[in-house]
Amino acid sequence: MTPWKELVDPEREEAWELFYKVLQFRPGMKKCDWPGIHEPDASTTYSISHAYEVEDLYLPRTNDLCTKIKLALMECTDPQDFVYALDWQHPCYKFWPHEPFPFETEDDWPIPPLPNGDYYSFVSPDLTFGVFGHPWEQTMCVFGAKFMRAVDNHLPDLFTEVVRRNGWHA
């Protein structure tokens, strides 16, 4: 089985409708529009601006992020479970994190975790956990207590600076 299956309408539209409703998604390039979602009570938002600062570090940092987000997703899902991989205004997917796929760089991901010019999200179908990448604020919001713990267990090298924290996970 392939770990990626493109969402087609009406499923794609339903996923986005839920995303807009539950997380109150509001895209925008200006600071007054940020953080872009209503960050849930259990969430931590990390700066990722340093991902883009040193060209020689971009590839190792993004590969580390891909690996560790996949591990955290695996920790929070059963082998048959999928999460939505959402890319605003572009094709979106169901992603089965337990399924193997040839992963060497972020280019092997139809939607990589690191937002590089668009909003990228990996979220559970009920939106109780996930990660939301904001390309303009250059942040990633990790939400849902169980997923936050999983990310802490596999902390990406990029997640060194906390921008905001709501509630808390232990």
pLDDT on residue 35: 87
Say how many domains are in the chain.
1
126/136 Cα distance (integer angstroms) = 26
Residue 166 banded pLDDT, cuts 50, 70, 90: confident
pLDDT over 60 (residue 120): yes
% pLDDT > 90, the chain: 71
Which amino acid, residue 11?
E
pLDDT over 50 (residue 87): yes
pLDDT over 90 (residue 65): yes
Residue 31 banded pLDDT, cuts 50, 70, 90: confident
Terminal-to-terminal C-alpha distance of the chain: 35
* Lowest-confidence region among 57-61, 88-92, 165-169: 165-169
Burial class (CB in 10 A: 0-12, 13-18, 19+), 150: buried
Q: What pTM value is reported for the model?
A: 0.92
Is 143 within 8 Å of 39 (Cβ atoms)?
yes
pLDDT over 60 (residue 19): yes
In angstroms, the Cα distances linking 122 to 53, 57, 141, 167 are 24, 23, 11, 21
Residue 168 banded pLDDT, cuts 50, 70, 90: low
Is 133 within 8 Å of 119 (Cβ atoms)?
yes
Q: Which domain holds residue 45?
A: 4-25+34-166
% pLDDT > 70, the chain: 97
